[in-house]
Copies of this chain bind each other. A is one copy, B any other.
């Protein structure tokens, strides 16, 4: 095939007549005047929807075709289009399959306009927003007993006094939050109250505390709910963790689907639970009064401590877990029917009475019956067994306990994403937390909460009492911050009745602050230290994120000029050979700049001389339209010498914008990728970390050419 030898380059190589002709032709086209001058430059068509197109047959006139509709876009006003649902879904096979799967799990996507805020009546609000504090009856009194057990059954007598203190704390807290609800009728989370009144740093502390609180509410509630079921079915004891994770997954998916609307359904378990608790307490009193035999006395316990102040404090701090969730009402004032703050206050007070009543009732009956701690059976289960036996009524207690605890976990799935939404808006959390999912829920927050709570449950083997020492800390930090914020607010605004309000919130602040100190101290080694480590870390993370977004907003870090006049592009085109792929890259580079240099790295390690000579000869035949630099790489490295060369060019051209034009092989079949050295990809990855370098990817697809695609589209169009 070799006809004649070309005498360019170090070695003599021969090009076939065919090659020579093709290259000459490409070179001529290169030198031709630009078409863009002859063509009217394309401008955005104000009437984008209509476009002239030549008909399929050669003799056809131009026809006008509706382009927008076919792509699923609709014109709303000049310059504003709207994407239909179809235009929001992927059109490829794989993408469609993924979409279908999402539809099955999450349901059909909702348009943003369908975002409706349901207003809650007081009974519904009570049921939904109080499930967290009310459900804590299921583990609060038991948590006290577990500590007291260390000093023997005689110490159980401390249960009632401790509960009384907790109930009075509840009263103070509710009084405080009644103030807060009126002051922040829109969104009054501890984060916002602390941020606005004490400053961002305190807001972040409150936020970080709430984060730990929300995660722990899910873990504790679900673990406690599963414990209620295990009490009824002891054979389930081996599957605690699996059951907990399964429930969390169900709650997560339900929230992703957007379950907020079905409030009525949620109200039921709460009322059944509260009702059955009071019935149970009354039944026990009646039975005891009528002289029914006491339950068996608790198993003898190993006495390790005497009933001192320390033990009582410890038991008290454990019992404070009952107070978690009191703040939920204040986060959701705007969800009430008008007058929002008034309704919210009433509901909060009602909740306090129900909660206090149940806590006292359970403590007194447990004390009277002389009940203790049992493995795999909760205190509530022991009470219910005494009251009703193991029949249907017992089942009602256990299942409603389980359900209200699941509801309590569910409240975190509203609160956590909301908190992150607010923090993301302020730039303290990743922006992705502001995005609404398919079903108008803040999906990212929901998913992250589900994952973290699952991990926590798994790490603590689903044991409520191992999780409880971590729980109270975060809540009481948030309580204290919120009350402190209110105190500052009263002092600042000095509105009507400010002295009265200030005193209430100050008392609340001091009480919750004291509880925080007691809890942190008493529970430190039992797990509270984890939270005390996590909260500051979270605060630092929030600050780092904020700083990062701040940099971004500062707009100081652009690296290429922001006006066309400032751009003096210098294009570097790494080529593997002088073929069509290289030519299209070089051509595109030339349209950007007069300053184009092609660079070829010889790295194969064999026949280098011949390769170089051959490329030079081709270059010569093509017409030398662009200077060519060759880099020999005896260590067979490709990317590094290219990067070094780019550095050299960069330093030569101080005011230039460096542009690297890379051909991008796009495989139409996945395995094609394996057949190429991925040079472009590796170079791109390396250039990512090179400041101020524009990377242009000129694609070449294998098999499916653009022409082919066009033809296919034409056929599709005709079929429509």
Binding site for B on A (CB under 8 A): 10, 26, 29-30, 32-36, 39, 41-45, 48, 51, 53, 67-68, 71-73, 76-77, 79-83, 85, 87-92, 109-113, 115, 430-432, 434-438, 440, 545, 548-549, 551-552, 555-570, 579-581, 583-584, 587-588, 590-595, 597, 601, 604-606, 608, 612, 627-637, 640-641, 643-645, 647-648, 651-657, 664, 666, 672, 674-677, 688-689, 691-706, 709, 713
Contact = CB atoms under 8 A, between A and B. Distances in A.
B637 A89 contact: yes
Given A83-B631, A591-B592, A92 B556 contact: no
A632 B76 contact: yes
Contacts of A82: 631-634
Query: Which one of A79, A91, A560 has the greatest number of beta carbons of chain B within 10 Å?
Result: A560
Nearest to A554: B580
13 contacts: A29-B562, A29-B565, A34-B564, A35-B566, A76-B632, A82-B631, A83-B631, A88-B641, A91-B643, A551-B702, A558-B700, A559-B701, A567-B588
A605 B440 contact: yes
Contacts of A641: 73, 81, 83, 87-88
Contacts of A664: 688, 695
B71 A545 contact: no
Q: How many copies does the complex hold?
A: 2
A702 B34 contact: no
A335 B566 CA distance: 61
A83 B695 contact: no
A80 B612 CA distance: 9
A125 B332 CA distance: 85
A643 to B, nearest CB: 8
Nearest to A691: B706
A90 B635 CA distance: 13
Contacts of A630: 79-81
Contacts of A635: 83, 85, 88, 109-112, 438
Contact of A43 (B41, B79, B595): B595
B29 A640 contact: no
Given A83-B634, A637-B88, A645-B73, A563 B30 contact: yes
Nearest to A83: B641
Closest 7 CB pairs of A and B: A88-B637, A112-B605, A83-B641, A562-B583, A29-B563, A88-B635, A555-B580
A440 B677 CA distance: 18
Nearest to A658: B706
Given A42-B653, A563-B29, A703-B551, A675 B591 contact: no
Given A568-B39, A605-B440, A559 B652 contact: no
Contact of A644 (B87, B581, B633, B636): B87
A44 B598 CA distance: 10
A690 to B, nearest CB: 8
Contacts of A581: 555, 558
A629 to B, nearest CB: 6
Given A34-B565, A591-B593, 6 more contacts: A44-B629, A71-B645, A83-B640, A438-B636, A440-B605, A563-B587
Given A555-B580, A583-B563, A648-B48, A39 B80 contact: no
A71 B644 contact: yes
Contacts of A42: 568, 570, 595, 652-653, 656
A600 to B, nearest CB: 10
B566 A29 contact: yes
B71 A560 contact: no
Contacts of A41: 593-595
A705 B666 CA distance: 32
B556 A705 contact: yes
A467 to B, nearest CB: 27
B652 A67 contact: yes
A105 B476 CA distance: 55
A79 B630 CA distance: 6
A51 B656 CA distance: 15
A671 B599 CA distance: 35
Contacts of A39: 568, 655
Contact of A632 (B81, B627, B694): B81
B694 A648 contact: no
Nearest to A76: B632
Given A71-B645, A83-B632, A629-B81, A709 B691 contact: yes
B557 A703 contact: yes
A700 B656 CA distance: 16
Nearest to A54: B654
Contact of A83 (B633, B676, B709): B633
B666 A71 contact: no
A73 B440 CA distance: 57
A68 to B, nearest CB: 6
Contacts of A51: 651-652
A693 to B, nearest CB: 6
A83 B44 contact: no
A43 B91 CA distance: 45
A68 B631 CA distance: 12
Given A83-B634, A595-B42, A67 B651 contact: yes
Contacts of A693: 699
Question: Most chain-B Cβ atoms within 10 A of its Cβ — which of A41, A83, A438, A588?
Answer: A83
A580 B558 contact: yes
A35 B109 CA distance: 50
Contacts of A698: 560, 694
Contacts of A80: 612, 629-632
A633 B88 contact: yes
Given A29-B563, A34-B564, A648 B583 contact: no
A599 to B, nearest CB: 9
A92 B688 CA distance: 13
B557 A705 contact: yes
Given A588-B560, A632-B80, A666 B689 contact: yes
A112 B606 contact: yes
Most buried by B among A109, A438, A641: A641
A43 B565 CA distance: 19
Nearest to A640: B88
A436 B638 CA distance: 12
A652 B48 contact: yes
A72 B644 contact: yes
Most chain B CB within a 10 A radius of its CB, from A632, A636, A695: A636
